[in-house]
């Protein structure tokens, strides 16, 4: 029969977040007297930002929508960059013709070595300009690095954005994870792959989960350690941000 395991009052009595370390004021005894709270977290998440300053032309995926890895998520108006590339390509073509003409003249000893070398350097410069604009144009659209959902849309179409400006928060919810802390003395019996249940507040239901990783160090003050777990299965009603209570079955005492 599963029992509710307890955790400390304070921040850990509310929602446990990956970025919040265990409170140094907690004690192992306090952990045994309050319920352990955990929050559902996406397996991966990131904020996509603009790499160039440009006007947003397309936002094909709306907030909350799903997408697949490689799908286009943002498109910028890069008409100016395209024009600059065309100009650089024309300059490269001219430099290429000049260098080839000088090569033929050099075969006839009709041009000096310095002039030939300069024309070759001009061609290399023109090629570098073309490559630079091609790299810039490659930043005119942003594709999804993984499959998932749009958690937050921070800009709108026709809005001008600066390089480095956040555009979208995206998450990979293919596997929802849990993070929580437990007394370090539980390490005697709590191991990776150990199964337990979690009662989610928003649904009022329990779900299977299993320990995925055990923290790298014990907090010597609170004598506690952070655990990472994963919900064992796909449940459409579960979404990132939900929270609940961790239920475990400790081993029977002697």
**Contact (Cβ atoms closer than 8 angstroms) between residue 166 and residue 63:** no
Domain count, the chain: 3
Cα distances (angstroms) measured from residue 151 to each of 57, 66, 121, 126, 154:
20, 10, 49, 43, 10
Residue-number span of the structural domain to which 87 is assigned? 80-138
Do 155 and 56 belong together in one domain? yes
Do 167 and 110 belong together in one domain? no
Tell whether the model's pLDDT for residue 48 goes beyond 60: yes
Look up the pTM and report it: 0.73
**What confidence category does residue 249 fall into, taking pLDDT thresholds of 50, 70 and 90?**
low
**CATH of residue 210:** 2.40.30.170
**CATH of residue 131:** 1.10.287
Do 109 and 222 belong together in one domain? no
What's the pLDDT at 167? 98
**What confidence category does residue 92 fall into, taking pLDDT thresholds of 50, 70 and 90?**
very high
**Contact (Cβ atoms closer than 8 angstroms) between residue 243 and residue 201:** yes
Do 168 and 214 belong together in one domain? no
Do 74 and 85 belong together in one domain? no
Do 154 and 129 belong together in one domain? no
Say if 131 falls within a structural domain. Answer: yes
């Amino acid at each position: 029969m599963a029992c509710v395991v307890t955790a400390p009052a304070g921040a850990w009595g509310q929602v446990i977040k990956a970025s919040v370390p265990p409170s140094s004021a907690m004690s192992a005894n306090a952990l045994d007297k309050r319920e352990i709270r955990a929050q559902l977290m996406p397996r991966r998440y990131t904020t996509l930002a603009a790499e160039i300053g440009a006007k947003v032309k397309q936002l094909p995926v709306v907030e909350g929508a799903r997408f697949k890895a490689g799908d286009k998520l943002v498109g910028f108006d890069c008409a100016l960059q395209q024009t600059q590339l065309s100009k650089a390509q024309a300059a490269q073509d001219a430099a290429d013709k000049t260098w080839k003409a000088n090569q033929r003249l050099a075969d006839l000893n009709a041009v000096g070595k310095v002039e030939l070398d300069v024309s070759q350097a001009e061609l290399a410069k023109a090629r570098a300009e073309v490559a630079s604009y091609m790299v810039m144009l490659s930043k005119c659209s942003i594709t999804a690095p993984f499959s998932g959902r749009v958690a937050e849309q921070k800009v709108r179409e026709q809005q001008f954005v600066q390089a480095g400006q956040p555009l979208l928060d995206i998450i990979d919810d293919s596997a929802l994870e849990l993070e929580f802390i437990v007394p370090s003395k539980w390490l005697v019996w709590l191991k990776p792959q150990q199964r337990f249940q979690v009662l989610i507040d928003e649904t009022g239901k329990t779900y299977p989960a299993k320990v995925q990783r055990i923290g790298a160090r014990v907090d010597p003050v609170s004598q506690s350690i952070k655990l990472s777990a994963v919900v064992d299965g796909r449940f459409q009603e579960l979404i990132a941000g939900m929270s609940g209570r961790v239920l475990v079955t400790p081993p029977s005492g002697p």
